[in-house]
Amino acid sequence: MIIVTGGAGFIGSNVVRALTERGSDDVIVVDDLTDGHKFVNISDLNIADYLDKDDFLARLSSDQKFAKGITAILHLGACSETTEWDGRFMMRNNYSYSQKLLHHCLEHGQQFIYASSAAVYGGSSEFVEDPLFEKPLNVYGYSKIQFDRYVRRVAANAEGQVVGLRYFNVYGPREQHKGSMASVAFHFNNQIREEGVANLFTGTDGYDDGEQLRDFVYIDDISKVNLWFLDNPGASGIFNVGTGRAQSFNDVANAVIQWHGKGKIRYVVFPDHLKGAYQSFTQADLTQLRQSGCDVEFRPVEDGVKHYLDQL
C-alpha cells in the first residue's frame, strides 16, 4: 500500500493522480474532509481507500497487518496557510503529526517522503539546504523548519528512505479549494475572466511594481519528483524543489493575459499585514537535488501557465 496524506489537497491529489495513471491500484488517500469541497480533487481518481487523518493514526497503532502492509507514506498533509497564526494548532497539525508518521516508517523500514516548504527560508536571500539560511517569517514556516530539524537529528543515519521536499511556489490544477492561498496564476486567471484586469502588488523591498520574484513551479513537475524518489529508495535527504529560476509576478500575469488574448495589469497598494512577513524573492538552489540523481526537468512559467489554463 502507498499512503498519501493530504491526498485530497492540491499537491496530494496530483501525486495520487500521477500514481494511478501509471497503474498503481493500491493508493490510500488520507485527509480531513471537514471542507467537503475538496472531494472533487479525488472524485475522478481510482483509489483503493480513503481514511480520515485521525482514523489513520488510530489504525496504524491498532491494526498491525495494516501497518506492516504499507510500503511508503507520502506525507503531503498540512495546514499550509501562511497567514495562520494559531501556533498551537499549527505545531500539532504540521509537526507532531509528522513525527508520528516518521517514527512509524523508521520502525517498519518504510519509505517516508514528506512535504517541507521554501517558507523555511523566510527572510533569507540564499536558498540552500543549510541551517545558515533558514529564517522563517511565519509560524507555518517555523512548523516546517522545526520538523526538518527533527528529521536531521532523528533520521540522519536511518537505513530506510527519508526525504523532505522543500516546495517553492507551486501552481496548477486541483488548487481551487485553497481560496486565498491558491496560486497567483489561479487568481490572475479568475480576475482576467471576470474583470479583464490582473491585480498585482506595488513594489516592495526595492522591487518595482509586480517585479517581486518567486520560483514558480508547475504541479506536474512536483508529481514527477515525488515519483522519482519513490522509485529510488536509496536517495535520502532534504531537497529544494523548484525550477531554479526566479520569475516575476508580471511574468505570470502576462502569461495569463497572453493565453486569454486580452486583459491588463493593475497595481494595488502592498498590504500592511504582509509587511515583514513576505518573501519578495525566492529561487531554489537545485545543487543537492541534482546530486541525488533526480533529473526531472522543470518548465518555465510561460509553458506551465499555458498547460494549466488549457486544462481549466
* pLDDT for the residue numbered 279: 81
Known active-site residue 142? no
* pLDDT for the residue numbered 123: 83
* pLDDT for the residue numbered 230: 98
pLDDT at 276 over 80: no
Same fold, 2-169+219-244+283-299 and 171-213+246-280+303-311: no
* pLDDT for the residue numbered 39: 96
* pLDDT for the residue numbered 173: 98
Known active-site residue 171? no
Domain regions of the chain by residue span: 2-169+219-244+283-299, 171-213+246-280+303-311
Catalytic position from the list 178, 207, 267, 306: 178
Over residues 211-258, the pLDDT tens digits come to 999 999 999 999 999 999 999 999 999 999 999 999 999 999 999 999
Say yes or no: domain 171-213+246-280+303-311 is CATH 3.90.25.10: yes
3-state secondary structure the chain: CEEEECCCCHHHHHHHHHHHHCCCCCEEEEECCCCHHHHHHCCCCCCCEEEEHHHHHHHHHHCHHHHHCCCEEEECCCCCCCCCCCHHHHHHHHHHHHHHHHHHHHHHCCEEEEEEEHHHCCCCCCCCCCHHHCCCCCHHHHHHHHHHHHHHHHCCCCCCCEEEEEECEEECCCCHHHHHHCCHHHHHHHHHHHHCEEEEECCCCCCCCCCCEECEEEHHHHHHHHHHHHHCCCCCEEEEECCCCCEEHHHHHHHHHHHHCCCEEEEECCCHHHCCCCCCECCCCCHHHHHCCCCCCCCCHHHHHHHHHHHC
Q: How confident is the model at residue 157 (pLDDT cuts 50, 70, 90)?
A: confident
pLDDT at 111 over 90: yes
* pLDDT for the residue numbered 1: 97
Catalytic position from the list 121, 140, 171, 218: 140
Over residues 39-78, the pLDDT tens digits come to 999 999 999 999 999 999 999 999 999 999 999 999 999 8
* pLDDT for the residue numbered 299: 98
Mean pLDDT of the chain: 95
The CATH number of 2-169+219-244+283-299 is which of 3.40.50.720, 3.90.1480.20, 1.10.10.10, 1.20.1280.50? 3.40.50.720
